[in-house]
Amino acid sequence: MAISQPHALLISVNTTGLKTTDKNHPYSGQIIFTINSGQLLTFPVQLQIVDATPEMVFSPNPIVAQIGPGNTCQSTQPNVPLTLTLINLGNAAISWAVNPDLTDKIKFVSNGQLLESGTLLPSGSLLPSGQPGDTIVLTLQCNNIQIGQSYHISVYANQLSWSGSIIIANN
């Protein structure tokens, strides 16, 4: 670049996986320019990440079930429980909740414990991706369900929400 001419430089940062920072603790680094093949100019830089977005997936969606004994739900495959898996793909912990619209018919359990339902309060947390605790498998329990019906669930991760459904198929 000619020294007497103005120039624009585009500098970018891949922020994937960086955690939210406050204004007193930004990421810091430097950009080093080489001048005339020998002199170095160091330019300090700081980066503040605001509101790192939770990265969570849940599967399957929809959950397909069949009616079992007593109008309960069962898997379409014998001896395979109906489950919903939540996986944290991000680098920040996630508070999560799974809330069925009809809490008298649809419930989720984990390790034999009934989870809170019908409330927007967090029902658990997932640790950052790659750590033990970044995934949870919830087992679906139903009663008084009907063939051909679709039941709505809401899945929450921090301040974000997604819709899911449970479809009751013919046997």
Check pLDDT > 70 for residue 120: no
pLDDT of residue 30: 92
pLDDT of residue 52: 61
Residues of 39-68 as b/e, b for ≥16 C-beta within 10 angstroms? eeeeeeeeeeeeebebbbebeeeebebbbe
User: Percent of the chain having pLDDT more than 90?
Assistant: 16
pLDDT of residue 17: 67
Question: Cα separations (Å) of 96 from 36, 82, 91, 153?
Answer: 55, 19, 15, 13
CB 86 within 8 A of CB 58: yes
pLDDT of residue 122: 41
pLDDT of residue 51: 64
pLDDT of residue 135: 92
Digit-coded pLDDT (tens) for 25-61: 899 999 888 888 888 989 899 988 776 666 889 999 9
Cα pseudo-dihedral 127, 130, 131, 135, rounded to 10 = 60
- The mean pLDDT of 146-158, rounded to a whole number, is 87
Half-sphere exposure of 61 (CA within 13 A, CB side): 14
Digit-coded pLDDT (tens) for 72-115: 788 888 778 888 999 998 878 888 988 888 877 888 887 655 55
* Domain covering 56-169 in this structure, CATH number: 2.60.40.10
pLDDT of residue 111: 64
For the full predicted model, state whether its pTM sits above 0.85: no
Tell me the domain boundaries of the chain.
8-52, 56-169
